[in-house]
Amino acid sequence: MSTETSHSAPPQSAFGTGRSGLVLPAILLLLGIYLSIGIITMEVPDGAKQPGPKFFPILITIAIFILAALLSMQLLRNPEPVPDDRQGYRSYSDWKTVALVAAGFLAFALLLVPAGWLISASLLFWTVAFALGSKNWAQVLAIAVVFASVIQLAFGAALGLNLPSGILEGLIG
Amino acid sequence: MESLTLLLEGFSQALTPMNLLWVFIGAFLGTAVGVLPGLGSSMAVALLLPMTFSLDPVGAFIMFAGVYFGGLFGDSTMGILMNTPGGSTAIATTFEGHRMAKDGRAPQALATSAIGAFIGGMIATTLVVFSAPKLAGIAVVFGPAEYFALAVFAFIATASVVSDSALKGLASLLVGLALAVVGIDGISGASRFTANVPQLFDGVSIIVITVGVLALGEVLHVASRIHRDEKLTAISVSGRPYLSRSEVREAIPAWLRGTAFGVPFGVIPVGGAEVPTFLACGTERQLDRKRRTPKFGTGAIRGVAAPEAAGNATSGTAMGALLALGLPTSATAAIMLAAFQQYGLQPGPMLFERNADLVWALLASLFIGLVMLLGLNLPFAPLWAKLLLIPKPYLFAGITVFCGLGVYATGASVVDLLLVLVIGFIAFLMRRYGYPLAPVMIGVVLGPLAETSLRNALMSSGGELSILVGSAITIVLYALLVAMIGYTLWRRVASRRRQDV
């Protein structure tokens, strides 16, 4: 979540205006670097036939670097058009809501095993519904718990999926 | 008429109570996600993929078939009632469809689109039944070089031709290919890009990627917009959901013309399903202007009938391309291909020989699914419209929980949950900056096939590159590809020139 886009309309002349899309070539660059390191450090078993396991990744990595360069050049030359309405409100992403949802999912991933499905899934449902604009938090919480329980029953009992019960171990089947 | 007997056998396999139930569930879910704003059949298939592993392959594919077509039946509902198309294939329907709805003819518009989708799907599927097995005849000559040519064809076609920006499409494709090379290399046994994390030795699970790219990324995208976009209101549906005889007579030629536009586009991926819908709609408008009383602009029934038939006809033949050539032309088709691979099947020329019973059961269930969808959609359109009333926060909260469930259920690994979040976030950024997502899926699914066939071809030739263009099939495929790229370039230059004037 290192990307930052200011909500207030930035001044027209700023270099970053319309160029926040550079974040994707940057991701491609990181990906290319990761692949390069992987290719260099890869241990190829003896007797591997040519072309070996490095062959195809090398092609991909070269293509990734070329595309990252081309995409950045394109953006540097022609930045995305800045919307005319100076409010600029509708065209900017709502990073706060995105961060809330992402944080909710991260908490779910980390809490699932220690706290159990029921608690972590209810929390996830509640966080997302809250982030997307539900006002009545008590009602949402009730729906969240019911939803998580139904899934635990339907998938745990009926289909035999093993969902962790966490700290509620023993309380529920 | 060998196809007919095989198809009848397929029907006998598909018409068991259990399989009928799967078709029904698939059709039901497909329509539901199609109607619901912001969801598409690709997301439904992505979320269903983890759940289907406890099913036998026939049941799973029958259900996918229902979802696949169901998404197309539903997506025009929102366009017609809210003037906001549910997916890119519904844009063309929206113009005249919403005018009809404003005119008080919402049920007729919905019925026209449902029947159009039915007719388009039926004709296309029939064509697939009779032509796809012919392709099985050339199965024997498909070697590594031919498979590599096929994969390259799919890569370039989806990445550069289908997307608006060829650079962005190719970047998406490379992200998919990069994800596909993670894990133990099947040929040499070398561990690649795993950073010694044991969970990655088997590669990044296809479920993690599909759920991340198509479901969680979509949730994040909705989150980034939900407090920005204006609230939409739907026109209520009331009145007779059936068409009068004169309306049917008016719509029939448009349904058939739309189907004719849609059929070829499923096999040659020159622009996804939205191109034929626009072509069909445009042709109807041209024809309409020549009539004594032009109807376009006031809610023409033909403006709804033609694009809907075109859209579903495209998906019908796209299914044929997937089965007979192993060529996915959309994200949904790519996920179905991944599902085939999970069961150890490789769609393509060999499928009709090796797994004939499965293929024919699937084809038969496409017909059953279409009939069932018509039955679900035609009389119950007003009920489906009620789905638009579900509050978005609950809807997407539920989907997020399902993302977590699906990913955890298949691997029972927290690493997968963290990975899906990272992939989902990158997918969101890609959407935010206009990168297409289908090439990612196609890269992930076809990447291993491309790599193994390329390496096998080069190994057998001792590194000689000429083997890649050594047979007639490869030359034809590459020539087609060049012709397609040429056509796209010409079309783009032409449309740019038109804009300048």
Chain A 32-91, CB below 8 Å of chain B: which residues? 34-35, 38, 42-45, 48-53, 55-57, 60, 63-64, 67-68, 70-71, 74, 89-90
- Residue of B170, B175, B421 lying closest to A109 (CB–CB): B421
pLDDT category of residue B336 using cuts at 50, 70 and 90:
confident
Chain B 61-80, CB below 8 Å of chain A: which residues? none
Same domain, yes or no: A52 and A111: no
Same domain, yes or no: A139 and A61: no
pLDDT digits (tens, 9 = 90+) for B209-241: 988 998 899 899 888 888 776 666 667 766 666
Same domain, yes or no: A84 and A142: no
- Which residue of B174, B175, B415 to mutate against A (max A Cβ within 10 Å)? B174
Chain-wide mean pLDDT for chain B?
A: 83
Q: Whole domain around residue A80: which residue ranges? A: 1-88
pLDDT digits (tens, 9 = 90+) for B357-388: 888 888 888 899 899 999 888 888 778 888 87
User: What does the pLDDT read at residue A86?
Assistant: 46
Size of the A and B interface in Cβ pairs below 8 Å? 200
% of residues, chain B, pLDDT over 90:
10
User: What does the pLDDT read at residue B230?
Assistant: 64
Instruction: Please say if the pLDDT value at position B174 is more than 80.
Output: yes
Residue ending a domain, choose from A88, A123, A145:
A88
User: What does the pLDDT read at residue A159?
Assistant: 66
Nearest Cα to Cα of residue A90 among B220, B227, B37: B227
What DSSP line would sit under B214-265, residue for residue?
Answer: IIIHHHHHHHHHTTTSPP--PPP--S--S--HHHHHHHHHHHHHHHHHHHHH
Q: Average of pLDDT values for B135-145?
A: 73
Q: Where in chain B are the domains? A: 2-137+144-229+240-500
pLDDT category of residue B314 using cuts at 50, 70 and 90:
confident
Q: Which residue has the higher pLDDT, B444 or A160?
A: B444
Q: How many structural domains are present in chain A? A: 2
Same domain, yes or no: A115 and A72: no
Alpha-carbon gap, residue B115 to B97, rounded angstroms: 14
Q: How many C-beta atoms surround the C-beta of residue A21 within 10 A?
A: 20
Chain B: give the shortest CA distance to residue A70, in Å.
8
A154 in a domain, yes or no?
A: yes
Residue ending a domain, choose from A60, A88, A116:
A88
Asked if A50's CB is within 8 angstroms of B404's CB, the reply is: no
Chain A 108-147, CB below 8 Å of chain B: which residues? 108-110, 112-113, 121, 124-134, 140, 143-144, 147
Provide the terminal-to-terminal Cα distance of chain B, rounded to the nearest Å: 55
B247 touches A: beta carbon within 8 Å: no
Same domain, yes or no: A21 and A104: no
pLDDT digits (tens, 9 = 90+) for A27-44: 999 999 999 999 998 888
Instruction: Please say if the pLDDT value at position B157 is more than 80.
Output: no
pLDDT digits (tens, 9 = 90+) for B255-313: 999 898 888 877 765 456 677 888 888 888 888 888 877 778 788 888 888 988 888 88
User: What does the pLDDT read at residue B451?
Assistant: 92
Residue ending a domain, choose from A88, A123, A143:
A88
What stretches in chain A show pLDDT beneath 50?
Answer: 1-13, 85-88, 173
A173 in a domain, yes or no?
A: no
Q: Are B307 and B113 in contact (CB under 8 A)?
A: no
Same domain, yes or no: A58 and A19: yes
User: What does the pLDDT read at residue B423?
Assistant: 95
Instruction: Please say if the pLDDT value at position B400 is more than 90.
Output: yes
Same domain, yes or no: A3 and A77: yes
A30 in a domain, yes or no?
A: yes
- Which residue of B184, B196, B433, B464 to mutate against A (max A Cβ within 10 Å)? B433
Q: The complex's ipTM?
A: 0.85
A35 in a domain, yes or no?
A: yes
Q: Average of pLDDT values for B423-436?
A: 91
pLDDT digits (tens, 9 = 90+) for B55-64: 788 888 888 8
